[in-house]
Amino acid sequence: MPPEIVESKDFLAMQKRLQLLTKTLTSSAQVALTPKETVWTLNKAKLYRYVPQVPKQQRHPVPLLLVFALMNRPYILDLRPGASFVEYMVKQGYDVYLLDWGSPGPEDKHLKFDDYTLEYIPRAVRKMKALSGCEEFSLLGWCIGAILTTIYASLRPDDGLRNLILLTAPLDFSRKEQLTFARWVDEKYFDIDKVLATFGNMPAEMIEYGAKALKPVENYICNYLRLWDNLDNPQVVESWHAMHTWVTDNVPIAGAAFRQLIVDLYRNNRLMKGELLIRGERVDLANIHANLLSVIAESDHITPCCQTESAVAKMSSADKEIYRVPGGHIGIMAGSGACKRTWPHLDEWLAKRSQYSQTNFAPPERKVG
Amino acid sequence: MAEEQGGKKLDPTEQLRSMRDAYMEAWAKTMGEYVNSEQYAQQSGATLDAMLAVSVPFRAAIEKAMVNALQQMAMPTRPDFISIAERLTNVEMRLDDLDVKIDRIAQAVTKIPTQAPTSAGQKAPSGSVKRASAKKSAEKKSAKKKGAR
């Protein structure tokens, strides 16, 4: 009887499934494949320029700089061919740059938002302007990257920023009852001094646990059941594999920046109150005049809608739009529906505002989302 | 495994799957409410404190022993590497600034006009002065030759 069992169809199919499951769980997917070159580096940060794929005449003259969060790898914006925002924008004729913060080491524990917004971003912008030959540029910030780009846009409004795109931007921390993170990092329960004195930087493992613990059953069980159920579907497996690679590839946050995030923003909401000081300069959201597009994920459990709307209202941009997309914090840009909803809208909005002829911040046509 | 009934295949695993999904959904909702509670925040904070209370003395002792051992062997320690890395970052920033300054100088140099200015009040470059004086002396020589004839 045993030989018959071994040769049975069901057994072989099960064996194949288990092999695929093991491979998917224990290997890294091929990610970030859009051709690029490193054009600038500083400490751990790198600035990538993506190789243009359309003739020069068809390209938009205003370059686009992408800034992602500090605790995850930015290749979520260039996940895999066919599911890459970067690839999509390059094909639409944009001169795309991506700022990769890298992984901070023990020597970087003193890095603050001050350094990221007034040293790293301006230098990367300077390099991008030199390479593109255009004095104006567009800036896209996602998650904590949106906090950094907002601070930069407020403190350096005359740097040539024409278009500002904020994706799921956590800017207002006043409604603590809606913010699970705010509850966890409350000073009653979370001793930030002790954590940073022990580790220097906020360890990547703790950040990953925190992000997953917001939805423990979905992240620790349902996610793997979904893979098991779809092992016969190569497209789902490929997509799952790439996303799993990204989700488990976290980096620490520099200690001082993490302290600012928790103390200044989560606990004291200083950005919205106009009390946030960056190298002695007060960050005033009213200083932002660039064309503004804020994208909100309707099912975002990390950055609820309330964290963005009130902050956008404080910005002075004459051309302002809030665009709501069904989906979660990451799904709106890297999910299966992103290429049908979010990306085309970003392209449409940006294309109108990325031409040579436009010399002021007035919009070609005003839309209210 | 599947049975044919009314032209539709019955798959018992499908029923089990829908039961499982319903259970997961209910569990996810309960857990979502739990992690969003004060109780969870308090418990997780207490767990973290306990973990740090246990691990910090060990980490400190290991670090101290390691620094002592490396110093005894005349080897650089972790703080030494950190200090060098910080200095390197500062050097990188200065280089970045220099890079920009050099670019600006290079741009300014390429903008300097290479042709001789045509307006009367402007001083001609030395090359054109030399060419003009050579022309004058050639004219004088030819005039002398004509006079001699």
Put simply, whether B59 touches A (Cβ < 8 Å) is yes
Q: Which of A108, A143, A172, A244 is catalytic?
A: A143
So what's the pLDDT on residue B130?
Answer: 46
> A5 CA to chain B: closest CA distance, Å?
16
Question: Residue A194 and residue B49: Cβ atoms within 8 Å?
Answer: yes
A305 catalytic, yes or no?
A: no
What is the tens place of the pLDDT at every residue in B26-81? 999 999 999 999 999 999 999 999 999 998 898 889 999 999 999 999 999 999 99
Q: What is the pLDDT of residue B120?
A: 47
**Locus of tokens 């990769």:** A100
For A:302-341, CB contacts with B below 8 A are: none
Is A229 known to be catalytic?
A: no
Number of Cβ within a 10 Å radius of residue B61? 10
Q: B5 pLDDT exceeds 60?
A: no
Percent of chain A clearing pLDDT 70 (strictly above):
95
- The tens digit of pLDDT for each residue in B131-144 reads 545 555 555 555 55
Instruction: Work out the minimum CA distance from A321 to partner chain B, whole angstroms.
Output: 31
Closest by CA to B95, choosing from A118, A123, A168, is A123
pLDDT of B146 reads 52
- The average confidence (pLDDT) of chain A is 92
Reply yes or no on whether the pLDDT at A359 is more than 50: no
Tell me which DSSP letter residue A21 carries: H
Q: What is the pTM of this model?
A: 0.85
Task: Round to whole Å and give the CA distance between A195 and A217.
Answer: 27
Predicted local confidence at residue A112, as pLDDT: 96
A189 touches chain B (CB under 8 A): yes
pLDDT in tens, A175-234: 988 899 999 999 999 999 999 999 999 999 999 999 999 999 999 999 999 999 999 999
Q: Do A221 and B82 touch (CB under 8 A)?
A: no
A368 CA: distance to closest CA in chain B (Å): 33
Distances from the Cα of A94 to the Cα of A97, A104, A241, A247, A319, angstroms: 9, 30, 28, 27, 21
Q: Note the CATH number of domain A31-203+252-352.
A: 3.40.50.1820
Query: Any CB–CB contact under 8 A between A176 and chain B?
Result: no
Half-sphere exposure of B4 (CA within 13 A, CB side): 1
Tell me which chain B residues have a C-beta less than 8 angstroms from the C-beta of A42. Answer: 89, 92-93, 96
What are the tokens at B32? 């979502």
Residues 6+ apart with CB under 8 A from B127: none
**Number of cross-chain residue pairs from A and B with Cβ atoms under 8 Å apart:** 77
Tell whether A194 lies on the interface with B, counting CB pairs under 8 A: yes
Is the minimum CB–CB distance between A105 and chain B shorter than 8 Å? yes
Q: Is 70 exceeded by the pLDDT of residue B8?
A: no
Q: Give the mutation candidate from B93, B95, B107 for the A interface (greatest A CB count, under 10 A).
A: B93
Closest CA to A302 of A328, A341, A264: A328
- Alpha carbon A80 to chain centroid, angstroms: 16
Question: CA dist A234 to A228, A309, B60, Å?
Answer: 12, 39, 49
What ranges make up the beta strands (E) of chain A? Answer: 36-42, 45-50, 64-67, 96-100, 137-142, 161-167, 277-278, 281-282, 291-297, 320-325
Does any CB of chain A come closer than 8 Å to the CB of residue B78?
Answer: yes
* Min distance B111 CA to chain A CA atoms (Å): 16
Q: Which residue has the tokens 């960050």?
A: A283
Q: What band does A355 get if pLDDT is binned at 50, 70 and 90?
A: confident
Q: How far apart are CA A250 and CA A246, in angstroms?
A: 8
The answer to whether B96 contacts A123, with C-beta atoms less than 8 Å apart, is yes
CA dist., res. A192 & res. A195, Å (int): 5
In this structure, of A41-55, A165-179, B1-15, B116-130, the range with the lowest mean pLDDT score is: B116-130
Q: What's the pLDDT tens digit per position in A126-180? A: 999 999 999 999 999 999 999 999 999 999 999 999 999 999 999 999 998 889 9
ipTM of this predicted structure: 0.82
Q: Closest Cα to residue A34, out of A86, A76, A102, A89?
A: A86
A222 in active site: no
> B114 vs chain A: nearest CA distance in angstroms?
24
Q: Bridge partners of A294?
A: A166, A322
CA A278 to mean position of chain CA atoms: 22
* Residue B126, pLDDT above cutoff 60: no
B28–A213 CB contact, under 8 Å: no
- Pick from A236, A214, A240: which is nearest to A301 by CA? A214
Q: Mind listing the pLDDT tens digit for each residue in A261-319?
A: 999 999 999 999 999 999 999 999 999 999 999 999 999 999 999 999 999 999 999 99
Distance of alpha carbon A41 from alpha carbon A48, whole angstroms:
9
Instruction: Judge: A43–B89 Cβ closer than 8 Å, yes or no.
Output: yes
Residues 100-139 on B with a CB inside 8 Å of A are 100, 103
